[in-house]
Chain A
């Protein structure tokens, strides 16, 4: 290759990137099939009960939460909210035995009067996840069309949009797969925060990819005779410092969130963390490599390499 000796050869390692991505996504898919994604309390019908402790009971939210956890409820599978002096408990749907067990567990916290058990419909419509997914997919099509237009002066403009969307799906798949693994190990559930986090990751991914594609576009224009592969590699090296600075800057925000808010938004922070790392990795490792592979028509070769690896 014609680059100066100091230039990193990123594109040359493209098959390794694909291998790593493939392995992570495969692991995620296996976890998805094995554990599935468990819908959180927000998405299911549940039982709601209002508890009024008598005045001399020294109940606190922590004690109520503790009693529930002692009873075997996983953290995150129920919600306790203070409402004036009372507590509103949102729980998975309870049968009579479950109700009795709950009442005796709460009796240890203090004397109370319960406002009756009610079945409540889900907090968020069950279609929230489906609807958010449709929204992301439709906007992906629009992104594809816009990029095909923005790169219309390049040969094969539709490829750029397609590869950017492939990279977006890659990032979302990795995030969902990692979440499935975590939900298998720690019992994490899909809540509204998770949906918001995945939307954010999708946005970050597209932004990161476009910046690199923009640089490649400029490189192709300026070096009409150069091999596509080396133009892409040079663009990656030139934008590397920006990619890392932006990724690092975003990590600061997450670290601050994790340190100060912590607990209640651990899902959000972890999903975003995985998403930012994946987004940064994929825009360097796979998004640009996909363009090169397509340009050189290497799909067959890649499959053979993988088979022999």
Chain B
């Protein structure tokens, strides 16, 4: 098979795949998840949490709320592209708005979990205890670091916990201690190990951490642990919930849900999306009409190429679950503009080649190769700036969801444009070379005989 047959096959396979992923747009499909819209476009769920600030001194209260907001942000938005709104409401409440209406009760509760694991040792005599469960009474396990008595908790975990499966297929939550944690752990496990393998209890809030079998998790200490530990017996869902919350950070204050929970309409008003889709359709129709009137057959093929471009780009949005907010749409529109521009660049070059007397077939090939350097440089530049904007937007220094949303769709769109401009339009145009259309260049570009050459 010739190289062009391969091109044609590749273009066709990609199209079929994209269509399978894209439709239906609001449902999950092969590899794709439903298209998600941001709060500004589709509205969402609004939850008000009340913070328990009783244990925080007055001067620290604002800071504690800010800390809680930062943790919520991490939990809701690990990728940083869904643009939730999280704001302080009054003196002690936090307002959370997330796009969509699909938050379950359990998810709302989980958002507010403190995510602090505390470790305990058993109380043998009648001393004071903090927890009581089926296994007995427990007090916080403590050690001494720098002359200070400290309780062993997940506050000393590094933020790289993960879930894995052990040799016997059991679920393991793996964590690493930081420097203080490893000193504490070493002291405590040494003590428990020497006390004929006494158990180490694990608690979340005032409840013991319960395994998949419904029993509290309290392993007997079989060795001295100083750097790295594992929690065994959790269900897979519970383990991954804990792991992601531990990594996202511990809430500095307990939060509880209030009765103020409702669905809200988008910032830009209801019906915005419908109107935008209509505007998009009109814009596409006008652009295609213009291209066809001006560039004839080339314009028609470019219109197909643009439809192809849109299908492929949206399919990628679905696979990567990009949340479309207004800024994301800005990035997408810019990339569509560049995709159109790439076609225009090619056709203008073709036009010049034909005006200079080349045949249609030769003009197509030369047009593409001449336009390529401009397309390459402009696309690569845009990709690079998209990368920088995304990278900066994700850094804590210049964190900016709006810049990130913009950069993600821009990068995807520009990458697809680079592919479609050079392969798709050409693949669509080439079959015309051997037809009778090709005898008349005016079918392929605005035609004007150059008089003053």
Residues of A participating in the B interface, judged by any CB pair closer than 8 Å: 4, 6, 48, 50, 79, 81-84, 86, 88, 115, 118-125, 127-128, 130-132, 134-136, 138-140, 142-143, 146-147, 150, 192-193, 195-197, 199-200, 203-204, 206-207, 210-211, 213-215, 217-218, 238-239, 241-242, 245-246, 248-250, 252-253, 255-257, 259-261, 264-265, 268
Contact = CB atoms under 8 A, between A and B. Distances in A.
A219 B307 CA distance: 34
B440 interface: no
Nearest to B393: A135
Interface stretch (B24-32, B119-127, B236-244, B259-267): B259-267
Nearest to A214: B374
A199 B283 contact: no
B265 to A, nearest CB: 5
Given A118-B93, A139-B389, A195-B327, 10 more contacts: A48-B89, A135-B392, A192-B402, A199-B330, A204-B337, A214-B373, A245-B344, A249-B287, A253-B283, A255-B286
B381 interface: yes
A-B residue pairs, 5 tightest by C-beta: A139-B385, A214-B374, A256-B283, A260-B279, A196-B327
B170 interface: no
Interface string B47-87: 00000000000000000000000000000000000000101
B198 interface: no
Given A81-B264, A132-B400, A249 B393 contact: no
B87 A121 contact: yes
B87 A123 contact: yes
A128 B400 contact: yes
B290 A138 contact: no
B275 A261 contact: yes
Contacts of B278: 260
B403 A199 contact: yes
A260 to B, nearest CB: 4
Interface in B245-285: 260, 262-270, 272, 275-276, 278-280, 282-283
A238 B260 CA distance: 63
B363 to A, nearest CB: 15
A83 B378 contact: no
B286 A210 contact: no
B374 A211 contact: yes
Given A81-B265, A248-B290, A146 B381 contact: yes
A238 B352 contact: yes
Given A143-B385, A242-B345, A265-B268, A210 B377 contact: yes
Given A81-B267, A83-B264, A249-B287, A132 B344 contact: no
A203 B287 contact: no
B340 A120 contact: no
Contact of A252 (B43, B276, B290, B326): B290
A136 B389 CA distance: 7
A261 B276 contact: yes
Contact of B388 (A6, A142, A246): A142
B279 A259 contact: yes
Given A81-B264, A245-B294, A252-B287, A143 B327 contact: no
A242 B264 contact: no
A120 B279 contact: no
Nearest to B46: A83
A264 B381 contact: no
Contacts of A203: 334, 382, 385, 410
A146 B452 CA distance: 39
Interface in B389-407: 389, 392-393, 398-400, 402-403, 406
Contact of B384 (A146, A196, A214): A146
Given A82-B270, A120-B88, A146-B384, A135 B330 contact: no
Given A135-B392, A147-B381, A206-B385, A261 B344 contact: no
B378 A199 contact: no
Nearest to B383: A146
Given A121-B88, A196-B327, A207-B338, A131 B403 contact: yes
A4 B450 CA distance: 13
Contact of B334 (A200, A210, A213): A200
Chain B: interface size category: 35 or more
A253 B287 contact: yes
A4 B336 CA distance: 36
Nearest to A260: B279
Contacts of A197: 330
B133 interface: no
B380 interface: yes
Given A146-B381, A259-B282, A249 B262 contact: no
B353 interface: no
A257 B333 CA distance: 11
Nearest to B276: A261
A238 B35 CA distance: 42
Contacts of A135: 388-389, 392-393, 398, 400, 403
Given A83-B265, A132-B403, A264-B268, A206 B88 contact: no
Contacts of B87: 120-123
A115 B262 CA distance: 13
A92 to B, nearest CB: 15
A134 B385 CA distance: 12
Interface in B316-333: 326-327, 330-331, 333
B169 interface: no
Contacts of B263: 83-84
16 contacts: A48-B89, A81-B265, A124-B402, A127-B400, A132-B402, A139-B384, A139-B385, A139-B392, A140-B385, A195-B403, A196-B330, A245-B344, A250-B340, A252-B286, A261-B279, A268-B330
B327 A131 contact: no
B282 A143 contact: no
Contacts of A241: 348, 351
A196 B331 CA distance: 8
A45 to B, nearest CB: 9
B170 to A, nearest CB: 43
Nearest to A198: B330
B374 to A, nearest CB: 4
Contacts of A88: 46, 264
A256 B280 contact: yes
Contacts of B275: 260-261
Contacts of B388: 135, 138-139, 142
B388 to A, nearest CB: 4
A131 B374 contact: no
Most chain A beta carbons < 10 A, residue from B282, B291, B393: B282
A192 B329 CA distance: 13
Contact of B344 (A123, A130, A206, A246): A246
